[in-house]
Amino acid sequence: MATFVPLLTRDQIDRLPERAREVVEYRKSGLSLNHIQGCSLGCAYCIRHTYGLWDENQPVALMSDAEAVRELVEHRYFQPQMTPVQLFNRATEPFLPKVRPHTFAVLEDLDRRELTNHVLVITRHQLKPDDIGRMNRLRHLKVTLLFTYSGIDDQRIEPYPSHVAAASLKLMSAPTERRYRTVLYWRPLVPGLNDSAEHLAAAHELGTHADATVFTGLFYREEIAAYYKANGLPEPYEDTARRKIVPETLERRILGTFNDSRKLFRKTSCAVSYVHGVPDYNGHYGVRELCDICPLVQLGRCAQAHRVPTAEDIHDVARVLPEVEGLEVVDISPRAAVVSGLTTEQPRYFLQHALGFQVHDVRHPHHAHRHGRADIGWKGTTP
Ligand code: SF4
């Protein structure tokens, strides 16, 4: 069994943190495949902190690509042609030189199966002219390349420079004929760090090259805050939060800068769906205030697809999952279904994607006009 990065032994795998051993995991933007773990780029806010993988700075494999793809497509959460997939988005960078052959191997394997699912590949690395042809040879998948760009020039926070991602975005967006799509993934936005008028203008210019732009804030979780403190990094917020943070005034300034753009989005799934000409797979349309910046053509697609499920529909979809025995539907409105009895978030995402409708957990209420974001930096809006 050949891998381009070292393959861990069974013993080594058994010693990994529990969540790191779970190579298929449902996250909000899709079912995530992570059989390669470890990254050398060292972004201070990396989500690897929360998986106990921060010290793994060289990529290693937990299994072969073929085994990993099998595990993904045979997973109880995977639905052909429907489930959005994310590749290497929590533990490594998909275009590190040693990881990129694995990235292409997985994409090509999925494509050979004639799957038409969305596949999201998030990168900040250098892409090469040859990558255009190889990506274009994927005939079935809806591939979206999301280029993480922040404009942060404090090397203690982001040692790998943002201009590389900017150049990769321009390179991959340049061909007029292509099957894959590109998104400027403008994040993490942090007040005082990368939100000057110059930063905003630079992102706006870069966004003109991409098929769409998404802006989003920082996941400032406890493990990440602890790392900032231990290393004397300027702490962006006094508090931590389970959701991404985008303060209200910053959002207003961003919308002002992009007021001539018709392809700016608050939600990753909205941008990814838009660039492929399909309705949002997370069903955000019910949360009406999210859509006020969306292109009209996309509004039409989402409006047409919007269908409020009944409690019976939700139970029907949930029936295939043994872990949702205790599921209760607490409320259904045109915005979202509110459920209780789920012990983890993963089955909730399964329901959301299967129904194309927002499914919220009663323990984590969403506040109107905050777009599913943390409360930090928002005042005076009604819960
Ligand atoms: S119409 Fe609303 S839900 Fe649909 S893509 Fe636009 S913002 Fe998202």
Q: Residue 200's domain is classified under what CATH number? A: 3.20.20.70
The per-residue pLDDT for 41 is: 81
Position 190 in a domain: yes
Residue 357 lies in a domain: yes
Answer yes or no: do 341 and 365 share one domain: yes
Let me know if residue 3 belongs to a domain: no
> Based on the domain organization, do 260 and 357 belong to the same domain?
no
pLDDT at residue 310 in the model: 98
Q: pLDDT of 43-72, one tens digit each?
A: 877 776 676 766 778 899 999 999 999 999
Q: Which of 247, 271, 303 is the last residue of a domain?
A: 303
Same structural domain, 236 and 126: yes
Instruction: Give yes or no: residues 299 and 317 share one domain.
Output: no
State the residue for tokens 């802006």.
215
Beta-carbon contacts of residue 319 (< 8 Å; ≥ 6 apart): none
Give the separation between CA 196 and CA 201, rounded to whole angstroms. Answer: 9
Residue 167 and residue 365: Cα distance in Å, rounded? 39
Range of the domain at 222: 10-303
Residues 6+ apart with CB under 8 A from 149: 124, 162, 165, 166, 169, 184, 185, 186, 187, 203, 206
- Say if CB 346 and CB 383 are below 8 A apart: no
DSSP 7: B
- What is the total count of domains within the chain? 2
The sign one gets for the Cα dihedral 235, 239, 244, 248 is negative
335/283 Cα distance (integer angstroms)? 9
Question: Within the chain, which residues score under 50 in pLDDT?
Answer: 381-383
Q: Per the structure block, which two tokens stand in for 246?
A: 């985008």
Q: Is the CB of 298 under 6 A from ligand 1?
A: yes
Compute the distance from residue 137 Cα to the ligand 1 centre, in Å: 29
Q: Are 204 and 258 in contact (CB under 8 A)?
A: yes
User: How far, in Å, CA of 19 to CA of 326, rounded?
Assistant: 23
The number of the ligand 1 atom at minimal distance from the alpha carbon of 303 is 1
Same domain as 354, residue 249: no
Residue 352 lies in a domain: yes
One domain, residues 101 and 229: yes
d(CA 370, CA 20): 31
Residue nearest to atom 3 of ligand 1 (CA): 285
Q: What is the pLDDT of residue 29?
A: 84
Same domain, yes or no, for 286 and 363? Answer: no
Q: Tell me whether residue 2 is in a domain.
A: no
Q: Are residues 272 and 351 in the same domain?
A: no
Same domain, 169 and 67: yes
Amino acid at 67: E
Domain boundary among 241, 272, 303: 303
Ligand 1 centroid–CA 367 distance in Å is: 18
Q: Say if residues 141 and 181 touch (Cβ distance below 8 Å).
A: no
The answer to the question of residue 102 being in a domain is yes
What is the pLDDT at residue 354? 96
Mutate to test the pocket of ligand 1, among 299, 304, 357 (most ligand atoms within 8 A of CB): 299
pLDDT at residue number 150: 92
Q: Are residues 273 and 354 in the same domain?
A: no
CA of 213 to the centre of ligand 1 (A): 13
CA of 106 to the centre of ligand 1 (A): 29
**Sign of the alpha-carbon torsion through 115, 119, 125, 128:** positive
